[in-house]
A and B are shown apart, each in its own frame.
Chain A
Amino acid sequence: MIYGDKNLGVIVQNITGRQGTFHTELMNAYAREVGGRGVVAGVAPGKAGREVHGVPVYNTVREALAEHEATASVVFVPAGAAGDAVMEAAHAGIELAVVITEHIPVHDAMSAIAYAKLHDCTVIGPNCPGLLSPGECKLGIMPAHLARRGNVGVVSRSGTLTYEVVDELTRAGIGQSTVVGIGGDPVIGQTFVDVLARFEEDPHTKAVVVIGEVGGNLEEEGVRSTDLPVVTYIAGVSAPPEKRMGHAGAIIEGGEGDARSKVSRLRALEIPVASRPSEIPKLIREVL
C-alpha cells in the first residue's frame, strides 16, 4: 500500500458539514473493521468543543494536532475556502492533504499546492474521491465494500469511474493494493507520475491500472515514467469536441487532449488500452 497504513492518524477539515460528517462516520466504520486508527479529530472554525460521531472538533488544525497525533487530513471545506484550508493544514505540519472539494478555482489550487510543497505536504486532489488501501485505511469517500485486498494498484482522474473499475477487478477476483483518485481538475497535487513512482516502491504492487480522461497529456507522462506493468483505460472517446464533459479537467482541448489521440499514443508505446472497463481484468491478467 502507498501513502499510509492502518496506523495513519487522520483529521477531517470541515467535519461539521454534511459531507464531512457523513464520511467521517464511514471512514471510521472502515477503520474499526480493519483495526486502524481512522479519523482522530475534526476541524471547523468556531465549532470547537463539539463532537461528530464521537470525534472531537477543534477550531484550527494547529489546535487539533496539539491534542492528537495525525499526519493526514481529508478536506471537505467548500470551494471558496478550500485552498486556504490546505495551506492551513500544511502550515500546521500535516504531511498528506486529501482534497475532496470540487469547483475550487484553479488559481487557488495552484497557490495551495505550491505552498503545501514548501512545507513538504503532499496534496491529493482537489476534486477527487481520495484513496483506499483495502484492509489498511480509507481517506475520502470511496465505497470500501467494492474493494478487496490484493496486488494491483489503481490510479485514476475520475471518481465514480474508479469505483466501476475496482468493482470489475474485485468481481474478477483481482484485489487492489491501493486505489488513488487523483482528481479531475486541470491542476492537481499528485499526478500519475507521482502516484506511479510510489507504486513502484511498494512491494505489494505488481501492476497498475491507469484510468484517464479527455484533457491534457498527464496519462502518457505517467505511463512513460514507470517500469511497472500498466493497463490503461481512457474515458471520452465518443465525446464531441469542444464540449465541456462535466468537470474542468475534462475539456477537450483539440489535438493532444482528446481521448482518441491519447489512446493511439498509448498504443504506440505498446501499452494495453481497454476499450471498456469490463475488459480491464483480462488485460491485467495478461501483464501480471
Chain B
Amino acid sequence: MKLLEYEAKRVFAEYGIPVPKGVVIRAPEEVAAHLPDLGDGVVLKAQVDVGGRGKAGGVLFADAKTAVETARELFSREIKGVPVGEILVEERLPIEHEYYVSIAVDRSSRQPVVLFADAGGVEIEKMAEEDESAVRRVIVSPLLSDIPPFLMRELLGGAPKELAPVINSLYHVFQGKDAMLAEINPLVTTARGVYAADAKLIVDDNALARQGITVNRDLSEREREAEKHGFSYVELDGSIGVIGNGAGLTMSTLDLIEFYNGRAANFLDVGGGADQERVMHAVKLVASMPGVNVIVVNLLGGITRCDEVAKGIIAAGVAPTVIVRMAGTNEEEGRRLLAECGYRMLDSMDTAVKAAMEVSP
C-alpha cells in the first residue's frame, strides 16, 4: 500500500530523516494560522496518489499574501482526475543541490537494492535510460542492519558525505516498515543541512497487519469486500465472469477469452485451498455484477479440493449459466456432484471458454 507524502514524511522524521517544516490542511483558510511558522515562501502540495503530480499541476508556490488564494485554487483542481482533499503546506527550502535516492526489492538478487543519482527531482527511469552510469546501485544483504561504509562510498561517489547518515536512515525505514520501496526524490542539500524534500513509501501488502495498517486504501470498496474473503477481484467491462484458482491460471483464462475475441466482465482468484463457503461467496460476488450472463469457473486442484468447489458452486445457485472446468484433487467426486445438479463440466480450458462464448458471444 502506498502512503501519501505527508504520511511517509512522518515516518521518515521518526527515523531521524530531516524533512521540511509543514502542515496538512483540509480547507484553504487553515493555511493562514501556520504562515508565521513556515516563513514567507511556501510550497503547497496536493496529497493525491498519482504519478507526475508536479507536471499535472499538483504543486504550487506561494508567499504569505497569496497562500490562501493559492490553496483555494489547488483545492478546486483535479490532479489526473483525482480531487484534492488534503494539501501539505511546507516551508520553501533554500536548495543548493538535488539528489535522488531510493531503496527497493531487487528480484534478481533477492536482496535490497539502493539507487543513487547526482541529479534529483527528475524521473529516474528516464535518467537511467538516457545515461545508465547516471544511476549508481548497490545491493545490500538483508541480514545487515546498516549499509556498510564501503558500499556507501561506492554509492555516493563524489557526492557529499553528509548524505550518508540520511541514506542509512532510509535503509532503516525500508527494513523497519516492511517497505517495497522507500524513495527520496529530491534529496536536497541546503546551507542548513540535508532534507528529504519529497517522500515515497510503499508498504508490502503482506505485512500491513504487523505494521498496524488495517485498511488497504489501494483497493476499491468491492475489491476490499473480495479481499475480506481472501480473493483477488478485478472488474472489467465485458459479459463473461471468470473465476480461477491461482493468479496465473486466472490470468490465462482471461487471455484465452481475449484470444477468442470475447470480453470478460470481471475476474476473481479464489486463491489456494478454497473451501465450499469461499467458493460460494466467489460465485455470488462474480454473479452480482450487472451484465454478467455466464461464468467460467476454471479450477485446477492442488491445494484446492474439487469436491469442496462443486459444493460451493451448487450452494451459490446463481442465475447466470455456470460453466465448470475442474481437474485435480478429489476430481471424480466433484464431477459427480456437479453432474447430479445439471452443471456443464468440460474437460479443457479451451472448450470451457468456447462454451461460454456460445452463451455470451
Contact = CB atoms under 8 A, between A and B. Distances in A.
Interface stretch (A33-41, A49-57, A67-75, A271-279): A271-279
B248 A184 contact: yes
Nearest to B249: A160
Interface string B83-124: 000000000000000000000010110111000000000000
Contacts of B207: 105-107
A277 B244 CA distance: 15
Interface in B294-316: 299-304
B204 A107 contact: yes
Given A115-B143, A143-B328, A143-B329, A248 B251 contact: no
Given A216-B107, A240-B236, A278-B350, A246 B327 contact: no
Interface in A219-260: 221, 233, 235-240, 243-250, 255
Contact of A19 (B110, B271, B303): B303
Contacts of A129: 302-303
B78 to A, nearest CB: 18
B276 interface: no
B272 A102 contact: yes
Given A107-B142, A143-B328, A276-B255, A163 B300 contact: yes
B105 to A, nearest CB: 6
A18 B143 CA distance: 32
Contacts of A143: 300-302, 327-329
A237 B143 CA distance: 37
Contact of A240 (B105, B206, B234, B300): B234
A189 interface: yes
Given A105-B207, A235-B252, A188 B327 contact: no
A244 B232 contact: yes
Nearest to B144: A114
User: Which of A103, A111, A157, A233 has the most chain B CB atoms closer than 10 A to its own CB?
Assistant: A103
A278 B253 CA distance: 12
User: Which of A79, A237, A247 has the most chain B CB atoms closer than 10 A to its own CB?
Assistant: A247
Given A146-B327, A160-B248, A114 B110 contact: yes
Contact of B107 (A19, A159, A218): A218
Contacts of A114: 110-111, 141-143
B250 interface: yes
A164 B143 CA distance: 38
Nearest to B176: A107
A18 B303 CA distance: 10
A244 B110 CA distance: 21
A102 B327 contact: no
Interface residues of B, number: 54
Interface of B is mostly: mixed
Contacts of B142: 107, 110-111, 114
Given A164-B252, A244-B232, A110 B111 contact: yes
Contact of B327 (A167, A184, A248): A167
Interface in A102-161: 102-107, 109-111, 113-115, 118, 129, 141-143, 146, 156-161
A26 B329 contact: yes
Interface stretch (B19-27, B55-63, B256-264, B283-291): B256-264
A187 interface: yes
A255 B125 contact: yes
A80 B206 CA distance: 9
A60 interface: no
A4 interface: no
Top 7 nearest A-B pairs by Cβ distance? A158-B248, A246-B247, A161-B248, A160-B246, A105-B207, A160-B249, A110-B142
Interface of B: 105, 107-108, 110-112, 125, 141-143, 175, 178, 180, 204-207, 210, 218, 232, 234, 236, 244-252, 254-259, 264, 269, 271-273, 299-304, 327-329, 348-350
Given A158-B246, A164-B249, 6 more contacts: A110-B110, A159-B248, A160-B300, A187-B107, A238-B255, A276-B255
27 contacts: A80-B210, A110-B112, A111-B142, A114-B111, A141-B303, A142-B302, A143-B301, A143-B302, A146-B328, A158-B248, A160-B244, A160-B249, A160-B304, A161-B248, A163-B300, A164-B252, A167-B300, A184-B246, A186-B107, A216-B107, A233-B252, A235-B249, A235-B252, A236-B255, A243-B234, A244-B205, A245-B232
